[in-house]
Structure 1
Amino acid sequence: MLELRSRRPGRSAARAGRIVATTAAACLCAGQLIATLPARAAAAEAAIRPAIAASNTRPKLPWGSAATLRITVTDPKTGKPAGAGTAVALEQWSAASRTWRARGTKALYTNGYNWFSVKPLSTTSYRIVFKGGGGYARYWSPTMRVTVTPSGAKVLAEAKKHVGKPYRYAASGPSAFDCSGYTMYVYRKAAGKKLPHKANSQQRYGRAVSKSAARPGDLIVVRSGSYGTHAGVYAGGGYMYDSPHAGSRVGKHKIWSRNYVVRRLV
């Protein structure tokens, strides 16, 4: 019985020790948690929101051209450059997904400055995001909109997309074309221009340009007398993209006649 009684106090003491140790550990963890939360809050509070200046060199540009988007980050209190070496990311707005999408990342120079070159295919919006660091919080620039206007280059790019497609009388794309159906389709897709499905009528659209001043992307209308009989897209060097006749395909062909007019639609 004495031996049994001697064991029980030992076990109780051990259990008590474990409880005390567990309680102490719990207190320690709680103390660490209590100490950590204010520390994190203080750190978050200490991060300064930087002042961000952004600019766009070309808010409106022809298709195929580039614009430069610039960012300068400064300390809001001192006005001095801030965030040297910190990452900044270019983001573009996606209308389809309704989100900002990353388009590239750079690090700020010692003067808090950097830039991105953009070449959008259509009107869009950008912003530059300062990633945060060095005591400064994550922040972003105002939205910068870039409006893209139609150009001869865009018309020519659209014309080239359909090379090899067959001629078919009265067809206006996208799988086959006759001559005026081809130019009608290309100008609508590339520049939003609406042309009639008739070469003779198309020669009245846009503005007249001399043959010597013709630029790639201009409308070419070949004539018989003063009547327009064929249409194409000027490719430069005396050539045009067109859908010539039955049995042929869209391609780059020599302008075979001297009797033609040049019309500029974009």
Structure 2
Amino acid sequence: MTAHAQVPSLLTRRVRRAGSVSALTIAAVGGTLLAPGAAGEAHAASPGFKALHVAAAKRGAPYRWGATGPRSFDCSGLTQYAFKAVGKKLPRTAAQQYNKTRRVRAAHRKPGDLVFFGYGRGIYHVGIYAGRGRMWHSPKTGSTVRLEKIWTKAVQYGRVR
């Protein structure tokens, strides 16, 4: 058997070991198998990384203004819900969440960091960074929680303490 032929079976074994981690979640973090509790990189056990998995599990939940889950969310309701599920308290709005996180430069962002969109001094949207320039978020009325490419470089990143 060639090394190339062994790759699918190795991936299959790792996915089975990961249990409930979906292929979509694996893809969201850059195609690597890093699940909470699995051996891997140091950030695998961080609250942000665990919250990322919680948000990914809500894929398809409808957007509803002011909703904080568990069946529907607005943007900050999704981030608040995901971090609460892993034992971290976040305030309710995107702007309040921005004020409670530690700033992280784009070059140092990690899966699980919050992605903030704003204009002037106001923050109007938040998502959870998933790696490879993508984030999980609940974007707007008529949409659902989804993984999406970050469409601008005019964002700021924050790490939940």
Structure 2 distance, partners of 1:233, 1:172, is 15
Corresponding residue number in structure 2 for 1:256? 151
Structure 2 distance, partners of 1:256, 1:239, is 9
1:157 aligns with 2:53: yes
Corresponding residue number in structure 1 for 2:70? 174
Shift of 1:166: 0.2
| Structure number with bigger Rg | 1
Return 5+ residue gaps in structure 1 as ranges: 1-61, 67-148
Instruction: Note if contact 2:76-2:94 (Cα within 8 Å) is conserved in structure 1.
Output: yes
Instruction: Spell out the pairing of 1:1-266 with structure 2 (5 A cutoff).
Output: 63-66=36-39, 150-190=46-86, 192-265=87-160
Residue-by-residue CA offset, 1:84-129 (whole Å, 9 max, x unaligned): xxxxxxxxxxxxxxxxxxxxxxxxxxxxxxxxxxxxxxxxxxxxxx
Structure 2 distance, partners of 1:152, 1:63, is 10
Instruction: Note if contact 1:222-1:257 (Cα within 8 Å) is conserved in structure 2.
Output: no
Structure 2 distance, partners of 1:251, 1:64, is 24
Structure number with higher helix proportion: 2
Amino acid at match of 1:254: K
Return 5+ residue gaps in structure 2 as ranges: 1-34, 40-44
Shift of 1:63: 4.1
Helix, strand or coil at the partner of 2:62: coil
Corresponding residue number in structure 2 for 1:45? none
- Length-normalised TM-score, structure 1: 0.44
Residue-by-residue CA offset, 1:3-49 (whole Å, 9 max, x unaligned): xxxxxxxxxxxxxxxxxxxxxxxxxxxxxxxxxxxxxxxxxxxxxxx
More contact order relative to length (CA 8 Å, sep ≥ 6):
2
Shift of 1:242: 0.1
Helix, strand or coil at the partner of 2:77: helix
- Length-normalised TM-score, structure 2: 0.70
Instruction: Note if contact 1:64-1:153 (Cα within 8 Å) is conserved in structure 2.
Output: no
Give the root-mean-square deviation of aligned CA atoms: 2.2
Structure 2 distance, partners of 1:223, 1:166, is 23
Distance 1:226 1:259, change over 3 A: farther
Shift of 1:206: 2.4
Instruction: Note if contact 1:202-1:221 (Cα within 8 Å) is conserved in structure 2.
Output: no
Structure number with higher strand proportion: 1
Shift of 1:257: 2.6
Helix, strand or coil at the partner of 1:258: coil
Residue-by-residue CA offset, 1:167-216 (whole Å, 9 max, x unaligned): 001000000000111111011112x1211211111111221110111110
